[in-house]
């Protein structure tokens, strides 16, 4: 079977960032299918690369997290048009797998269906257009109407739909109740990430010897609101929690502002790092005790399925989330971590205290985190589900 995989932001593992499309494309290739993946890069020419059996087409479309609304919209529309032109020339495709965001990738899939009679599966990565509308990025009344109509059309035209969280599945099912919908959360790479004893030599290198390290790694964007974590660090520094240190590793539009806030607060218990590739992240995790998942406190963001959450589980870390909803339920039901109200820094420290005092409790939660990754979110399990969903 030949699949045209549309994803504007494909990342290789060594590049860092979200690599869901790599995992799923790789799972298809390993089952003997052909994958032509169409993505973008910030170069000036179209390039084609064979990467671990995946044929990756890089379209020359500039994109950066710091772009404003107009810049992002222009990048989305360029990808829609250029990906359609390229996909139209690819022969003998059995399926189109269109991964949002952006939602406009669905337009490409619909055109290919109408012109080339190729069925498509649409992956809903964020609850669009609700997310940008409710967060205030889209305010024009008529544009809201257009985006809601576009979402309904895409869902109805898709033969099958993949979603990344239970709440997104419920929202989509209300629009297309009879459509085949498969829940595939983001993947815990249990082959690459693994639990490891604390490396004291590395801890000295990072300047955190004999410290309990809480790490955030990922995007530093508006929706992540890492100001919450800086407020937590500030409370800890002022109230004698000297044994805890925070790592913030990532890139995004808020990076400079966060560094400035940390400087203004005089935080000595926070260290910033750039966005890390997977090998560098793997090294850092050898000195980390807990992984922190952060989003702006808003109901729409409770539908998310963040990569960093699943990487933390696979690494066997205590996972701390400031997001309610299904992530909180997973952590609490499996005793793999806890939810901490982001707007009340004191509750974070109250809930963390038992893990600082009882090493065996920490170890038990870390073991549970790894088991949760292996039993529910490994590539072996989720990759097979996607392959079966497309092929049966």
Each residue's pLDDT, cut to its tens digit, for the chain (392 residues) gives: 999 999 999 998 888 778 899 999 999 999 999 999 999 999 999 999 999 999 999 999 998 777 777 888 898 999 999 999 999 999 999 999 999 888 899 999 999 999 999 999 999 988 888 888 888 888 888 988 999 999 999 999 999 999 999 999 999 999 999 999 999 999 999 999 999 889 999 999 999 999 999 999 999 988 999 999 999 999 999 999 999 999 999 998 899 999 999 999 999 999 999 988 888 899 999 999 999 999 999 988 888 899 899 999 999 999 999 999 999 999 999 999 999 999 999 999 999 999 999 999 999 999 999 999 999 999 999 999 999 999 87
Whether residue 385 sits in one domain with residue 364: no
Tally of domains in the chain = 2
Whether residue 54 sits in one domain with residue 121: yes
| pLDDT, position 93 | 95
| pLDDT, position 134 | 84
Whether residue 215 sits in one domain with residue 68: no
Whether residue 284 sits in one domain with residue 343: yes
Whether residue 266 sits in one domain with residue 339: yes
Whether residue 315 sits in one domain with residue 226: yes
The answer as to whether 195 is a domain residue is: no
CATH number at residue 300: 3.40.50.2000
The answer as to whether 114 is a domain residue is: yes
Whether residue 238 sits in one domain with residue 111: no
| pLDDT, position 361 | 98
Beta strands 47-51 and 54-60, pairing class:
antiparallel
Whether residue 204 sits in one domain with residue 136: no
Whether residue 237 sits in one domain with residue 158: no
Whether residue 259 sits in one domain with residue 170: no
Whether residue 387 sits in one domain with residue 339: no
> Which domain does 133 fall in, by range?
2-187+379-391
% of the chain with per-residue pLDDT over 90 = 79
pTM of the model: 0.90
| pLDDT, position 339 | 97
């Amino acid at each position: 079977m030949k699949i045209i995989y549309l994803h504007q932001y494909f990342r290789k593992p060594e590049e860092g960032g979200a690599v869901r499309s790599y995992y799923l494309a790789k799972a298809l290739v390993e089952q003997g299918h052909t994958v032509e993946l169409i993505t973008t890069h910030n170069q000036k020419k179209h390039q084609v690369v064979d990467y671990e059996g995946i044929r990756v087409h890089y379209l020359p479309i500039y994109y950066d997290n710091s772009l404003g609304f107009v810049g992002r919209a222009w990048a989305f529309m360029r990808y829609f048009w250029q990906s359609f032109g390229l996909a139209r020339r690819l022969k003998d495709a059995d399926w189109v797998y269109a991964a949002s965001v952006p939602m406009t990738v669905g337009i490409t899939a619909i055109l290919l269906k109408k012109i080339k009679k190729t069925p498509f599966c649409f992956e809903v990565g964020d609850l669009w257009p609700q997310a940008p509308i409710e967060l205030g990025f889209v305010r024009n009344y008529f544009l809201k109407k257009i985006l809601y109509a576009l979402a309904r059309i895409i869902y109805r035209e898709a033969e099958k739909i993949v979603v990344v969280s239970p709440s997104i599945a419920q929202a989509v099912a209300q629009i297309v109740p009879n459509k085949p919908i498969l829940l595939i959360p983001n993947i815990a790479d249990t082959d690459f990430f693994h639990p490891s004893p604390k490396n004291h030599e590395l801890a000295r290198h990072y300047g955190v010897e004999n410290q309990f390290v809480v790490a955030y790694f990922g995007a530093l964007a508006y929706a992540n609101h890492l100001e919450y974590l800086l407020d937590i660090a500030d409370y800890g520094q002022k109230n004698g929690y000297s044994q805890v240190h925070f790592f913030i590793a990532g890139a995004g539009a808020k990076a400079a502002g966060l560094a400035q806030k940390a400087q203004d607060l005089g935080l000595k218990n926070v260290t910033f790092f750039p966005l890390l590739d997977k090998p560098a992240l793997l090294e850092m995790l050898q000195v980390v005790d807990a992984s922190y998942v952060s989003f702006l406190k808003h109901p729409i963001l409770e539908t998310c399925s963040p990569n960093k959450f699943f990487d933390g589980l696979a690494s066997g870390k205590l996972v701390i989330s400031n997001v309610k909803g299904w992530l909180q339920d997973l952590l609490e039901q499996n005793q793999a971590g806890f939810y901490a109200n982001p707007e009340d820094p004191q509750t974070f420290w109250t809930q963390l205290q038992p893990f600082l005092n009882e090493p065996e409790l920490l170890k038990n939660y870390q073991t549970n985190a790894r088991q949760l990754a292996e039993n529910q979110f490994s590539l072996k399990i989720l990759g097979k589900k996607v392959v079966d969903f497309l092929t049966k």
